[in-house]
Amino acid sequence: MKTTLLAFVGAAAIAVPAYAHHSFAASYFEEQRVTVEGSLVEFDFRNPHAFVRIAVVDADGATTEYSGEWAAAARLQSQGVQKDTLKPGDHLVMTGAPARVAEQHRLHLKTLQRPADGWVWGGGGLPGPPRRR
């Protein structure tokens, strides 16, 4: 009985994280790219995914907040991104796969740039560590 219970608990422990992870293709058009730029409102450095929120001002002066879904904080740290890498007010250029629901103004981040100092994350296939241009 104990062996059966341990096997069940072990299988459940493995299955729950696998079930919790989702496909980005379910939420985003992964084959498309959109680029937006604006000022950083918030950098939410957390797991399971970090988020970058920027205020984008259009030609008419209207502001729309866009949210970029990024990688996990642990993965970003291994690539040199820290919780203080981005600061409110930073001017950023985000490129990513747009959300399947356009009104959500969300992107699955593929590249992130801070033109003021040449800081760049991603690009060239898989996202990689930040670099200077």
Give the C-alpha distances (Å, rounded to integers) separating 75 from 48, 50, 71, 79, 107.
Answer: 10, 10, 6, 7, 18
Task: For residue 37, tell me if it sits in a domain.
Answer: yes
Number of domains in the chain: 1
Tens of each residue's pLDDT in the chain, 133 residues: 555 544 444 444 444 344 445 578 778 999 999 999 999 999 999 999 999 999 999 999 999 999 999 999 999 999 999 999 999 999 999 999 999 999 999 999 999 999 999 999 996 444 445 555 5
User: What does pTM read for this prediction?
Assistant: 0.76
Provide the domain limits for residue 105: 25-123
Spatial distance between the Cα atoms of 25 and 110, rounded to a whole number of angstroms: 14
Look at residues 108, 103, 104, 132 and name the one whose alpha carbon lies nearest to residue 120: 132
Task: For residue 32, tell me if it sits in a domain.
Answer: yes
